[in-house]
Amino acid sequence: MINSDDLRFFHLIANHSSLAATARALNVTPPTVTQRLQTIEQKLKLKLVDRHARKISLTDEGLLLAERARLILAEMDDLYELLNSQQQEIAGRLKILAPLGFGQEYIAPLVTEFQREYNQLSVELELSDNPDWSSGHAWDIMIYIGELRDSSLKLSVLASNRRFLCASPAYIARYGMPETPADLRRHTCIALRENAEDVTMWRFSATDSDEQQAIRINPKLASNDGRVIKQWALAGAGIIQRSEWDVAAQLKSGELIRLLPDYQLPSADIVALLGTDLRARSARTSKFLQLLKARLAGAPWKN
């Protein structure tokens, strides 16, 4: 039977492109990683990983184990957090990194609330849509939205977050409503350049079938600031792809219209990234993480 250490080890494999990359992350030799993987496969009597020349891919069983491992490890971390952080002193300095717009709207108010409750604590909040991941160790908590590329950090999901395709009523009245993703090629699309993502490749999944489409847009407007592209869309300048947390109010008021509702864009869950596991985590970090989960899990932007 596999144990929690096996789950953490396989979760690390699942989030790296090769066994060699996993070995580098663990600071061990590739044969050590291979041997331990083989031990886990022998325990389960299942093949979990297909090995290729310079990369790996997970088998169906490996994908299932990786997903379940993520959920189980998150639950275990939550349990440890509740058991171990109750009576520790909340003091010292807490360093937080968050996306610019989301940080201003939702994280900054929680920071002031948290500091007022624990007045022996000082908090440093940095807001950036282009964080320097090489200095990730400098932060206690990093709030992240989008495609996660650095998987060596501990992850805790704070809230689900869908992405929507939107445009203003004025734009639709002038240029018409796209009916399929392919129609976007003849529309004016606006790109948000953030997190080193391929922002001109928009990927869609049909809600009622297994159909998937990837459309390469040629943006007439682009910015690295989400507030700017939303203002452009509100002014009727084009179509944007934006997180639900940012456009929920405008969709509700009718200032923006959701396009292609029969298709889904890749979700971009709001997560907290932490550089240490729970046993080495400070009480101030654990307590602020609890506050984040309590306030954001209900997706306040939907209210």
Alpha helices in the chain (DSSP H): 4-14, 19-26, 30-44, 60-84, 100-102, 108-117, 169-175, 226-234, 244-253, 283-296
Statement to judge: residues 204 and 57 lie in one domain: no
Statement to judge: residues 118 and 141 lie in one domain: yes
DSSP label at 183? G
Statement to judge: residues 167 and 234 lie in one domain: yes
Statement to judge: residues 182 and 236 lie in one domain: yes
Percent of the chain scoring above 90 in pLDDT: 41
Label residue 166 by pLDDT band (50, 70, 90).
Answer: very high
- Res 47 pLDDT > 80: yes
Q: What is the CATH number of the domain that holds 206?
A: 3.40.190.290
Statement to judge: residues 78 and 95 lie in one domain: no
Angle at 184 between CA 180 and CA 186, to 5 degrees: 120
pTM of the model: 0.66
Share the mean pLDDT of the chain: 86
Q: What is the CATH number of the domain that holds 51?
A: 1.10.10.10
Question: 24-43 burial by CB neighbour count: b if 16+ within 10 A, else e?
Answer: eebeeeeeebbebbeebbee
Structural domain boundaries enclosing 41: 4-83
Statement to judge: residues 157 and 274 lie in one domain: yes
Q: What is the pLDDT of residue 82?
A: 63
Statement to judge: residues 76 and 100 lie in one domain: no
Statement to judge: residues 118 and 77 lie in one domain: no
| pLDDT one-digit tens code per residue, 2-17 | 888 888 888 888 888 8
- Res 148 pLDDT > 70: no
Give 233 or 76, the one with higher predicted confidence.
233
Statement to judge: residues 48 and 95 lie in one domain: no
Label residue 196 by pLDDT band (50, 70, 90).
Answer: low
Q: What is the pLDDT of residue 124?
A: 92
Q: What separation, in Å, do the N-terminal and C-terminal C-alpha atoms of the chain show?
A: 45
Statement to judge: residues 167 and 243 lie in one domain: yes
Statement to judge: residues 26 and 143 lie in one domain: no
Q: How many domains does the chain have?
A: 3
Statement to judge: residues 140 and 176 lie in one domain: no
What sign does the CA torsion over 188, 219, 197, 129 have? negative
Final residue in a domain of this structure, among 83, 115, 140: 83
